[in-house]
Structures are given as C-alpha cells and as structure tokens.
Amino acid sequence: MMQITGKTKIVGVIGDPIEHSRSPQMHNAAFAELGINYVYVPFRIHPDALPAAIEGFKAINVVGLNVTIPHKQAVIPFLDEISREVELTGAVNTLTFENGRIKGDNTDGLGFLEGMRETGLELPHGESALVIGAGGSARAVIVALTSIGLETIFVANRTKSKAVKLAEDLSDTSGTAIHGIGLDDPQLADRVNRAALVVNTASVGMDISKPPLIHAEWLRPQTAVYDIVYTPPETRLLSVAAERGCHTIQGLSMLVYQGAIAFEKWTHVTPPVKTMKDALQQALY
C-alpha cells in the first residue's frame, strides 16, 4: 500500500457486515500499481447510523464510496443526484462526492456489459436473451441489456410472480419486450434454445452440489452463457455450457468492471483492470 500522507484521498465501501468485501484488495492494488495517492477503506455502518455517517463522510472530504447491503436503497434519500441506472434499478453501488454534493450511480449493469465485451463477444442485437432470477442483480442486468438493442428478454424465476413484476417494472423503459416466466414453464426449453445469451443471476449457482437451473441439452453452441455468480469461478452452469461448445463468461468480470468504472469516476484515471482482476482472484480463490 502507498504511504499515507497529508495528501492521501479517501475512498471506501459502506455495508453491514463488511468484513467479507474484497473491494479493498482490488482498489488498493490498483492505486499501488498506478502510484496514485488514494486509500480504499471498508466502513461497517449500522443502518441506524447511516444519516450520521453520510454527514461525516462529507465533513471529512471522502472522495467516493461503494455501497453494499443493507444500504443500497436506504442511501438514496441522502443524494443530490442519481443516474438513470439508479432510477431504474432503485439501488446505488457507487457514490461520488464533489463540491459538497453527492451523486449516486449503479455501475453493476455497465460492469456486466464490459465483462461480456472483454471476452471478445459481440453484444447480441435484435435477438433474445434469457435471464434466470428476479432479484436485485437480475434487475441491474436487465436494465443494462435493455440498452443494447435486443428484441426480447425473458426473465425466468422460481417464483414466477417476481419475474412478471420485474418485467412489468422495466417494460416501458426501452424498445425491448420483457416477459416474466416461471422456471417450470413448459416453454422454458424453447426460450433457452432460441436465446443468443443466457444469464444466471440466481445465487443457487454457488452450490456446486446443485445442478444448473436449466438443462444443458437446451443450449445451442451459438448461445453465449454468462453466470454472474463468481464463487466458484466456473459454476456448473458454465462447465456444462462449455461442454456444449457455448461461449462462456465468468461472473468475476462483472465484479472487476463494476469496480473499475467506480475507480474511474473517483480518480479520473484509466483503471488498471488486469491488476484489479489479479488482486480479486488472489483474495477470492
């Protein structure tokens, strides 16, 4: 880590708990690589203390913060400005403090797209994508996917009502049609088979004793498969997709790029993405 001096700028992450966060390793490695005078600090903030903490961060001239559970929605009333992504997802993961004002962004969706681009995949146009899961991560992914010119997005979830609600919430925000279905829908196999892109956002992928939520035989080799779950690095869904000849994308990319985009907002310097990825890999695996 850089030596802390009178000129060191402070960034960090707020959450509760926060001990599990690997963002400090990722960002501090990037500052060290570039030799810029910043430090990234984890702050455990109890929900009751959030208003005082925000005032405090302003008072001590913190430059930027990442925001994680349980503050992603709760922080919004304290912000002076929010991005379109925050309006659509209802969640913030990055704060930027400038001239006494706080701007809230959500870099998860752009990070998701950058993670896909990094693997050399041309983003699909005029085709369909299928997203598994209907929680907060699925919402960020779908908001991002509505910006790339897909014809249709299917949201498939164990609890169908949540998929339908999510599809309704986001349907009028772009030219992409969004439909919510259950994981037990008889048409699921066909939806998967026709998709140019299948994305898993359901945390169940972390458990390698459980089979993927879709059957490998449904996948065509032309379909790209992205699992945003990053532990393990290759989930069972990704291994069966690779066996089918599909282009696969690991969730670690999204984690790296959501951080890299935040890094650039705070420092106005191009982030050293490879250093950030190496640091995360070392911290996680």
Residue whose Cβ sits closest to ligand ATR? 135
Residue with smaller CB distance to ligand ATR, 65 or 199: 199
Residue with smaller CB distance to ligand ATR, 135 or 245: 135
What is the rounded CA–CA span in Å between residue 227 and residue 215?
15
Tell me if residue 72 is catalytic.
Answer: yes
Active-site residue, selected from the candidate residues 72, 103, 265, 277: 72
Residue with smaller CB distance to ligand ATR, 61 or 159: 159
Considering the complex, what minimum distance in angstroms separates the CB of residue 8 from ligand ATR? 33
By DSSP bridging, strand 177-182 and strand 128-132 are unpaired
What is the rounded CA–CA span in Å between residue 97 and residue 65?
8
Considering the complex, what minimum distance in angstroms separates the CB of residue 126 from ligand ATR? 27
Binding site for ligand ATR (CB under 6 A): 133-138, 157-159, 162, 201-204, 213
In terms of Cβ atoms closer than 10 Å to its own Cβ (0-12, 13-18, 19+), residue 221 is exposed
What is the rounded CA–CA span in Å between residue 94 and residue 86?
10
Residue with smaller CB distance to ligand ATR, 17 or 135: 135
As annotated, the active-site residues are 72
